[in-house]
Chain A
Amino acid sequence: MRRHKGALPTAFGCLEKFMNKKREGDNFRVKPQLLPKVPTKIKGLDEVLNGGLPEGRLTIVSGGPGAGKTIFGLELLVRGIEAGNPAVFISFEESGKAMRQNALSMGWDLSKIEKNDKLALITPEIDFDAVSSGEFHIDGLCAILEGQARRINAKIIVIDAVDMLMRLYNTPERARSQFVTLNRWLVKQNLTAVMTVKETEDAHTVYDYLDFMADCVIKLDQRVHEQVTTRRLHVTKYRGSDFSNREHPFVITRQGIVVMPLTSLDLVQQSIGKLISSSNEKLDVVLGGGFRKGSSVLISGPSGSGKTTLAFMLSEGAAKRGERVLYLSFEQSELSLSSEMKSVGFDLQSQIENGNLRIVPVMPESMGMEEHLYSIIFKIEDYKPDHVVLDAISATDRIGSSQAALDFLIRLYHVAKKRNITCIYTNQTISSKKDELIISGVGISSLVDTAILLNYFRDNDRIGRSVLVLKSRGTRHSDRYHEFRITDEGIVIVDSANN
C-alpha cells in the first residue's frame, strides 16, 4: 500500500490524483483503424476502391441492362475462389445453364469449382404466378443460403438480380423491410456480400434505400455515343474508407473486367528525370540540354511543318542509344512512315529489326476510348518502352468527342508517368496567326513539360521553317525562334542558337 509522505495529502496532490484517474478513464482515443478489405483482384478495381471491398459487409452494384453487373459478380467470385475464398452465387434472373455458359465464354469452368465444393451456384426460378395470402418473409432464402454457405464454408456471396426477388412484394415498404432482414442475416454470417440490382427509370424510387443500407455502392453504366460504346464505373459510396469518387472507364475483355483508374495518387507523381539528348546537337542547345526522361513533350505546328520528322529524329536517336520506342501512328501505316523517313535520312528499318522501335498504326474510329486505351496499355505492358510517341493527338478527336479524346490523353499520360515513360505528342494546329501560341487544341497543355512549336515564315521569295521552345520544365531553354531546314540528313538548325 502506498503512503503519503505527509500526514495529510495536500489539496494539490488530491486534485492531481483525481485528474490522473480521470485521464486514465478517458483514454479511449486510439489510432484510427481502417475497415478490413477484401481485394477483388479485378484489374484496376482495387485501386479505385483503395484496397478492395468491405470485408463481411454489403456492397451494391447497380446499373442498367447490359451494364456488366452479372459479369462483375461472376468475376468477383471466380477471383475470390482463386484467392482461396469459397463463394455462393445466387441469381434470380439467369438459369444455371446460361450462367455456366456465360462463364465458359470468359474461360471459367464453373462446374469444376462446383464439384470440388468451392462454389455453390443457386438459380431458383421465381414463381410469379404464386398467390399471396397473409404475411411471409425472406427467411426461407436466408436458410437456403445459410445451408449452402455452411456446406462449402463460403466467405463471399453474390446475389445477382435481387430486384427480381423483390418483385414478389407488392409494396416498396415490404420489400424494404425484407432487404433489412437479408442484410442483417448477411452481416451475422460475416459474409462479404455483393448484390446486383437492375437500375430502371423508376427503380430508384424503390431501391434508393439500398444505397443507404450498403457500406459500398458501385454504379456501372454503359453509354453509346456516335456508335461508340463506353463503359464507366463509379463508386458513389464507401463507408469508412477513402475511394476514388469519379467515373472510371472500364472494358470487358476476354480475360475479364479491366478498370482504368485515374487516382489522385497519379497526379502527384511528378519527378524530374535525367536529361536526354534530342540527338541533334544544336537542338539540344535550343532545348537547354535536351528533354527530361519521363516527361511529356508536345510538338505542335501546322501540316507539313516537320512534326513527324522531328518525332522520328527523337525516336531514332533514342533507339540508337538502345532505348525502346513505341510509335503509335494515328495517321499513317508503318510502310508509308518508313519510306517517308527514309527520304529524310532516317533508317527506321534497322531499328525495327533490332527491336528498339515498334510502330503501331492506330485507327481512331475502330474502337471506343476504353478499348483504345486498353489496347495501348496492353502494348505498353507487353513492350515496356522507354518512350511513347503519339502521332498525332489531333487525330484522337476522331475517337468520339473531344471530351473522349482529352480523357484518353490524360489517362495515357498517367499510364506513362507512372512507368517513367517519356511521351512525345505531335499535334497539328490549324494555321492562322492567332493559333501561333496555342500549343494544344485538346487541352492537355498543362500536362506538357516541354512544348515545341514549329511553324512557317516568309523570307522574301521562299518559305522558311522555325522552331520555338515555348516551355521546357527543368531546363534553361532558348526563348527565341530558330530557323531549321529538313534536309537529306534530317533536321538542321541553321542559325546560331546562342542566348
Chain B
Amino acid sequence: MNNFAEQQESNPQNHHYTFTLFVIKSGANSERAKENLENHCDKWLQGRYDIKVVDVVEDFQTALKHNILLTPSVLVTGSGLKKVIHGDLSDSRKFAEALNLYNEKDE
C-alpha cells in the first residue's frame, strides 16, 4: 500500500459516501431504517453523503442488480468502498464499523 492510500485509509473524514437504501415502503421498519440512516450520517459524516431510497416493490430490478434480497438493506459506495449492511441500522456501532469510522470517533 502506498502512502497516499494509507493516508486516505486513516483519514476517512475526507470520504464522500452514497447510500442506497432498499426498503419495502409499506414495511414496518422502512421508516425506522431511514431515520436511523439519517441520524448516523449526521453524526459521523456531516455533509459528506447522499441518500437514495429504492422501494423494492416499485423497482425490483435495481435490487436484483445489486443482489439485494433482504430489506431493509443499505448499499454503501464511495471512496473505493462497496458494502452492504442488512437491517434497520438500529445498531450504530455496526454501522460505523462497516464504514471504518468506529475507532476514530470512539477514541
User: Among residues 41 to 94 in chain B, which have CB atoms less than 8 Å away from a CB atom of chain A?
Assistant: 56-57, 60-61, 63-64, 67-73, 83-92, 94
**Does A205 sit within 8 A of B, measured CB to CB?**
no
B67 contacts A124, C-beta separation under 8 Å: yes
Max chain B CB contacts within 10 Å: which of A122, A125, A130? A130
Distance (whole angstroms) from the CB of A116 to the closest CB of chain B: 19
Majority secondary structure of chain B interface residues (helix, strand, loop or mixed): mixed
- CB closest chain-A residue, reference B99: A131
A-B contact count (CB 8 A): 104
Distance (whole angstroms) from the CB of B96 to the closest CB of chain A: 10
Bound Cα distance A266, B6 (Å): 75
In the complex where A133-B85, A140-B22, A143-B57 touch, is A126 in contact with B64 (Cβ < 8 A)? no
User: Among residues 113 to 164 in chain A, which have CB atoms less than 8 Å away from a CB atom of chain B?
Assistant: 122, 124-127, 129-141, 143-144, 146-148
A136 contacts B95, C-beta separation under 8 Å: no
Distance (whole angstroms) from the CB of B68 to the closest CB of chain A: 6
B90 contacts A168, C-beta separation under 8 Å: no
B90 contacts A135, C-beta separation under 8 Å: yes
B85 contacts A139, C-beta separation under 8 Å: no
A131 contacts B69, C-beta separation under 8 Å: no
Bound Cα distance A140, B69 (Å): 5
**Does A492 sit within 8 A of B, measured CB to CB?**
no
In the complex where A124-B64, A131-B98, A133-B95 touch, is A141 in contact with B87 (Cβ < 8 A)? no
- The 8 Å CB contact of A143, one of B24, B85, B91, is B24
**Does A258 sit within 8 A of B, measured CB to CB?**
no
Bound Cα distance A129, B97 (Å): 13
In the complex where A132-B94, A147-B61 touch, is A137 in contact with B71 (Cβ < 8 A)? yes
A140 contacts B67, C-beta separation under 8 Å: no
- The 8 Å CB contact of B86, one of A122, A132, A146, A148, is A132
Bound Cα distance A433, B24 (Å): 81
B71 contacts A144, C-beta separation under 8 Å: no
**Does B36 sit within 8 A of A, measured CB to CB?**
yes
A130 contacts B36, C-beta separation under 8 Å: no
- CB closest chain-A residue, reference B30: A139
A135 contacts B67, C-beta separation under 8 Å: no
Q: Which residues of B contact A168 (CB under 8 A)?
A: 70, 86
**Does A165 sit within 8 A of B, measured CB to CB?**
yes
**Does B20 sit within 8 A of A, measured CB to CB?**
no
Distance (whole angstroms) from the CB of A170 to the closest CB of chain B: 11
Bound Cα distance A129, B94 (Å): 13
Distance (whole angstroms) from the CB of B39 to the closest CB of chain A: 13
In the complex where A133-B98, A136-B72, A140-B68 touch, is A148 in contact with B60 (Cβ < 8 A)? yes
**Does B29 sit within 8 A of A, measured CB to CB?**
yes
Cross-chain pairs A/B with CB under 8 angstroms, 5 sampled:
A129-B84, A131-B94, A133-B85, A141-B69, A143-B60
Other A-B pairs, 19, CB within 8 Å; known A133-B90, A141-B70: A124-B67, A127-B67, A130-B85, A133-B85, A134-B88, A136-B70, A136-B72, A136-B88, A137-B27, A138-B70, A139-B56, A140-B68, A140-B69, A140-B70, A141-B69, A143-B24, A143-B57, A144-B69, A146-B60
